[in-house]
Amino acid sequence: MRLLGNILWLILGGLAIALGWAIVGLVLCLTIIGIPLGVQSFKMAALTLTPFGRTVVYDGGIGSTLINVIWVVLVGWWMALGYVAAGLANCITIIGIPFGIQSFKMAKLALWPFGAQIRELP
């Protein structure tokens, strides 16, 4: 079921979104200051590429929390809001509910990316 969900996800736009995140990550990594943000963009690209069968685990410390607060104020809230809107739009139909759940997972990561790890589900 994970394979089918990921294939449908890629066909219906996941590949384009993941490519966008990867390009943003590459652009951010052009400067020394942007490298930490670029790493978070690559994390989003990895989750966006194949979200089914993965989960987000947080284990950051105080440093991650402080950087996440800055992230939320500057860009995190509107990125998460976009994913929530996409998730709500997907959840309008019964068929779209699994895709909406994946969008909500990505909204959580977009809001609070530092200190998060993407792990495979057993």
- In this predicted model, what pLDDT tens digit does every residue of 78-122 receive, in sequence order? 989 999 999 999 999 999 999 999 999 999 999 999 999 899 988
Q: Taking a C-beta distance cutoff of 8 angstroms, is the pair 119, 53 a contact?
A: no
For 29-65, the pLDDT digits (tens) are 999 998 998 999 999 999 999 999 999 998 878 888 8
Query: DSSP assignment, residue 101?
Result: H
Q: Is the pLDDT of residue 75 over 90?
A: no
Of 54, 60, 59, 47, the C-alpha closest to 17 is 47
pLDDT of residue 60: 78
Q: How confident is the model at residue 2 (pLDDT cuts 50, 70, 90)?
A: confident
- What pLDDT is recorded for position 14? 86
pLDDT of residue 22: 94
Predicted pLDDT of residue 61: 83
